[in-house]
Chains A and B, each alone.
Chain A
Amino acid sequence: MLWSQNASPIRPQNLYLVVYISLMFGVLSSLPDLSDQSCTFKVTLRNFRVILSWELKNHSIVPDRYTLQYLVISIPDHMKTVEHCSNITASFCDLTDVWDVLSETYAVTVDGFRGNTTLVTCFIDFFLATHISLEPPEFDIVDFTDHINVNVNFPPVIPKILDGKVLQFYLPLIIEEQSGGIVKKYNPTLDENVTGNFTYVIDNLLPNTNYCISVYFKHRNLEEIHRSPVKCTLLPPAQDTGSSESAKIGGIITIFLIAAVFISTILILKRVGYICLRNDCPNVLNFHNMSSWVFPEMPPLEAVAFVEVIHTNRKKKVWNYNYDDESDSNDETAAPLTNTGGYTKHGLVGGLLGPTSASSATWEDCLEPYTEERDLSEPEADTEPLMALGPKPGGSECTSGAHEGRGKLLQDPFSEEDSSSTEESGDKIIFNVNLSSVFVSALDDDGSEGPPASPCFPEETYNLEDSHRLETSFLEAPGEGTQPSFPTPSAECPWPEDVLSDISDSSESGVDTGDGYIMR
């Protein structure tokens, strides 16, 4: 076709440039026609395997088996028969272990048979460096919050045809990342002896974003590209990690702020004087003596004593200054009782022990010598009230040890008011005297009141010097089941002089609780 003379004049330079560019693209992109008159061949690198496939142009010819032969043009030799490609029914053959040089030109002959008849013979030559079709490798992706791991499956042994830095120079691996219309390409550096799974990390990605990954080999000098099927994934959101970390940090900061505010408030209030902090802790918060806290000590025994009142009827003896009077006996030491002011007075015959603590001033026993009353260990019909002193179960603050002494309880037989519980057992009245509710009065010196009998205990000797100790011994609360020890005086019952002076063995005097009333 001739150029039209009426064609618009076009600058030859621009035309040449356009033609040049288009031709260069055409030359570089087009693959040579690998076909002869009978067959169409294709060489593919599939999963790092060199696969030669063919297809008959004339589909009416259908051989039932094929035989493949080849030779290397640069090496003069005869056609070589590939054993695993002889008499095969498939129209393809794996030549990975046969063709191992990418720079050679291989001449191939494929004979199609049906029975013993050769239906077709196909011949082709091709230069692998420019004729091979690169299929993408197999890969998988593992997505994370901000990055994706791309695992490309390489064979355990790289084919020999890819040796010599072919993968690095001629067949670079390209990983494409697509997101939001933006395509990024990554060219990972492959080692010369790369085998197994190759992992490439695409980082700096946005969480909660969809990304699509594809992989392919890009022949350095070929424009034709075979991309792998795209694998897309939606990255998880980054709230979990971020929220957990921010929550932890926020919690720590909040705790610190609260503690700082609390401490500063306390300090301010203390400085202002709104609160006064004591340096000494109350006893309740005193944990130093844990044993006593866990096992609290028994509170001091209250001034509660078990009193056994033994009534004895005694006649009031009148001093007749008759020394022969046998009635002058110690038995007649029961002091009369008076009833004053609504109180039931129980006079205790015996010396007063002296002022003691308020909680323990109830234990006075002025008893006549005990020796004369030994027989009182048994309850008798003697109505003379005697007081058997003993520790009340649960303790008495006036007893500190075993105490088996007895004394006399001055009891007003006419008293109807009895603040103490009493129980009668025969002629013996036994009542519990709550010493905390009993007022004990000290007898006067006029003798109207019978001097309190000295506490006489046949078992032990009572020492005047030990009065305080005795006193304290009464005051101490014995353990449960124990009886406070009490020094029993001898038969002569030594007694403090100041007390003994007021004591008359044979005298019984009523207890005047007037001015000499002793308050506990």
Chain B
Amino acid sequence: MSTKPDVIRKCLQSACLVGLLITGILSLDCNLLHFHLRKVTWQNLRLLSSTSSSFPVECLRETKAFELPQEILSHTQPAKRYIKEAFYEMSIQAFNIFSQYTFTSTWEKDYLKQIQIGLDQQLQYLEQCLEEEEKEKEDSKELEEDGMNWSGALVPQLSNLELRRYFNRIDNFLKEKKYSHCAWEIIRVEIRRCFYYFQKFAALLRKK
């Protein structure tokens, strides 16, 4: 067994941790949230595409449509808060799915850890910004907007529910396939596709 890949993996892991921490420290400004979200999401997407092997031909027979929510696919322009909440939901779900990786697939373990680190940092960023928005909404004038948003907040809650259902389908698929190699390959492709739409979704935070 060669020790060189192990050394590289250790260095890679440490470097990524340092880099992400530095990026996280420098990017706590909620005004730059969209930049951070877009960048981290794209990095995860690229990591999911950097597998050395191509999709197995034999796994083509086990593919499944997981039905990503239409709100994400249609590129509509919902409220900023909904976008943040959607990001938060997606990050949590994806993080949980990748946490179930038992390293029995052909993926590189380090790549998967990098993805988890990015998602975790993204979650921390989102939590901070969402709390700041909650504090701002405690103003008396915004109570009326809350009333208005309360009725509108039902829509984001429903959309988050759809996201949860989406990731539940993914999780169930893994369980049904017993976390097989083809299942993980299929999930990898699907989550990569999800990350792509969320990256476009993050651009909407910059416009508003």
B11 touches A16 (CB 8 A): yes
Contacts of B57 in A (CB 8 A): 107, 123
Kindly state whether residue B190 has any CB partner on chain A within 8 Å: yes
Q: Across the two chains, which residue of chain A brings its CB closest to B200?
A: A169
What's the minimum C-beta distance from B58 to chain A, rounded to whole angstroms? 10
B196 touches A17 (CB 8 A): no
Q: Across the two chains, which residue of chain A brings its CB closest to B48?
A: A127
B46 touches A28 (CB 8 A): yes
The digit string for B13-40, where 1 denotes a CB below 8 A from any CB of A, is 0111011000000000000000000000
B196 touches A129 (CB 8 A): yes
Contacts of A21 in B (CB 8 A): 19
B interface SS class: helix
Q: Across the two chains, which residue of chain B brings its CB closest to A22?
A: B15
Kindly state whether residue B193 has any CB partner on chain A within 8 Å: yes
The answer to whether A103 and B193 touch (CB under 8 A), given A20-B16, A130-B46, A221-B46, is yes
Q: Which of B7, B11, B54, B203 contacts A169 (CB 8 A)?
A: B203
A74 touches B15 (CB 8 A): no
Kindly state whether residue A141 has any CB partner on chain B within 8 Å: no
Q: Which of A380-438 contact B (CB under 8 A)?
A: none
B50 touches A32 (CB 8 A): yes
Q: Across the two chains, which residue of chain B brings its CB closest to A128?
A: B196
A73 touches B200 (CB 8 A): no
Q: Which of A16, A33, A169 contacts B15 (CB 8 A)?
A: A16
B interface residues, how many (CB within 8 angstroms)? 37
Q: Which of B12, B16, B52, B189 contacts A105 (CB 8 A)?
A: B189
Kindly state whether residue B82 has any CB partner on chain A within 8 Å: no
A23 touches B54 (CB 8 A): no
A73 touches B42 (CB 8 A): no
Contacts of A284 in B (CB 8 A): none
The digit string for A1-37, where 1 denotes a CB below 8 A from any CB of B, is 1110000000011011101110110011010111010
The answer to whether A17 and B190 touch (CB under 8 A), given A2-B3, A73-B55, A74-B63, is no
What's the minimum C-beta distance from A114 to chain B, rounded to whole angstroms? 22
Q: Which of A164-182 contact B (CB under 8 A)?
A: 164-165, 169
A1 touches B4 (CB 8 A): yes
Q: Which of B63-82 contact A (CB under 8 A)?
A: 63-66, 75
Please give the residue numbers on chain B whose beta carbons come within 8 Å of chain A beta carbons, in ascending order. Answer: 3-4, 7, 11-12, 14-16, 18-19, 42-43, 45-47, 49-52, 54-55, 57, 60, 63-66, 75, 186, 189-190, 192-193, 196-197, 200, 203
| 19 extra interface residue pairs, beta carbon distance < 8 Å, beyond A12-B14, A74-B190 | A20-B16, A23-B16, A27-B47, A32-B49, A32-B50, A71-B60, A74-B63, A75-B63, A75-B65, A76-B63, A76-B65, A103-B193, A104-B193, A123-B57, A124-B54, A129-B196, A164-B75, A165-B75, A221-B46
Which 7 pairs across A and B sit closest by C-beta, in order of nearness? A20-B15, A125-B55, A20-B19, A19-B15, A103-B196, A76-B63, A16-B18
